[in-house]
Structure 1
Amino acid sequence: MKSNLTWRILKAMNTLYIQKKIPAGNKSDSQIKYLLSRKLIGYQHGNSNYFVAFDGYKNYYERNFLQDFQQYEDFLLSIDPEADGRKTCTIRDIQTLMLIADQREEARKSLTTRRTFSGEVFKYGGSKYLENRPGLEKMVLKILNIENFPSEDPKVLQWRFVVDCLNPEFLVLCENLDFLKTPNIARQHNIELWYVGGNNTSNIQYISPKKFCKPLYYSCDWDYDGLKIYCRIKDMLKLKGKEVILLYPSNIQNRLPVDSPHHNSKWNHSITFSGLEPSYFTPKEIDLINQLITKDQWIEEESNNLLEMLLIE
């Protein structure tokens, strides 16, 4: 499911699935345009004020959206009984709210300012994302059971966000929170996920020795900061006699310019290999990194497929 799909559009699609007909609003929305182009929906005969479902829409919706819609609706109603199609949050926002709810006790241990929290948890929107979306902030505060974020950050910012599973076969350390927002994928394939990005790397010292018998992987943004953190984690684990494997992007064509919105990591062109330690990378990895440095590009962690990177079918 597209993460930028809005709850309003998903709600309308569900109404169309049930009632077979909805007002023809949101004509400029990319998902509505897609449905029209695939002839899954169309204008009601003789009345262009309404969309109707065509043959194939029912199967398409059930295959791609129904289960997720029911999960998201149940969750939104649990925190806001008035949740309806007027909410403008995206599916990505809802997934983030679900992660906050799942990890609320850990998040409450080290409450940060609104901007720090927004920049860390809603990284895709930046530090001002919540203050520009009061409705979304209200839901966050309700989930955390607080009235407001503190005015100052704590001296130590560390969250131990983890997606546990009963019989882990792999342990993946993640720089960002995105993979933790779809925990069912990891659990169904016996993958345990740890958020250890940025200021959370010190949490590695608390990994149980029992888990050192499982293969350890690191998933990150392929930019200067992400790969620098990988080098630091590699050093930390080396002291424990453990090796960590860097996950190679599943699609190396998913590249963005380093001056992308809300992205602050830049390559250092004044020193060789941007100052990274070449011995920590394979020839294949070095080749990709050099391409990214030369073209001032980076690859976002979220754009990759976790199972493909782990070579899990």
Structure 2
Amino acid sequence: MNWIELRALDNLYSNGEVKINDTLAKSGEISYLINSLRTLDRTHDKLFVLEGFAELYEKDYLEKYHCYETFLSDNGLLKPQLRFDESDIQILIGIKENMDNGNLEPLREQIIKNEATVRIVSLMFFKNEKYLLGKEALINAVKLLLDIDELADDKDLQYKYVLECINPRCIVLCENIDFLKRPTLARANNIELWYAGGKNVNKLDFSDTRGLPIYYSCDWDYDGLFVIYPLVINKIKTIQLLTPNGSPKGIKETEHNSKWENIKDRNIEDLLTAHQLDIMENLIKSNQWIIEESCDLIEMINNY
């Protein structure tokens, strides 16, 4: 079972019914309680309790649910989107207990000293080197309980991708990796391309532009302009924002997740030219965005 199923069972115990979501509809545990034990039933959109459920819940689920809930809450892990498996929570509880009694301190020091990766930590605690891969929330929980800031391959602190060329005349930092996958044009025009990974800009603290002009190419949407660009310019003071020349696309039509409505009080007027401000304001007004890879990279640079 995962936390969503456990929480649903507790809600059923407290309220007698709960709305069905995709996780509950596919749950083997819920199916067992409906079809084998007959302590739950369902309509097309709800689960509700039958006779015997309360006694069963008190016997098999109540104590461990409150144990898990207390642990997750006390350690700042109880969030609405939480999806940890029950076995994950049990392992995290074990990590916390062994940290508190000092048993894990030598291992923690070894993890830090040897710059252990996610795979190594996964093997240490989850018996499978691939188990933690892609499970950002669970990785963060392990780091929190071990009191470790970063693992060796945390993507924000490591390498950037570079498309090199002979005798570069400038560098372009790209928000997305698409331009780097098309090397011929950039190399033919003596342009070196960098890709740091969207918002993952901490690695730029270690970058050397070698005195070359450096430009920033991005999606012209909320994330690209209001989130990532200010982070980038804080790392590389001399970077200049390229003005897009691609065709705007509707945010709703393209089902894009970076919405202008998130702007609120954020202000980047001082970072844009008057022409760039006009483009941005027109995009906001028409609820559109410009995709980075739809732009002509060479033309954007030459226009500078």
State TM-score, norm by structure 2: 0.47
Larger radius of gyration: 2
State TM-score, norm by structure 1: 0.46
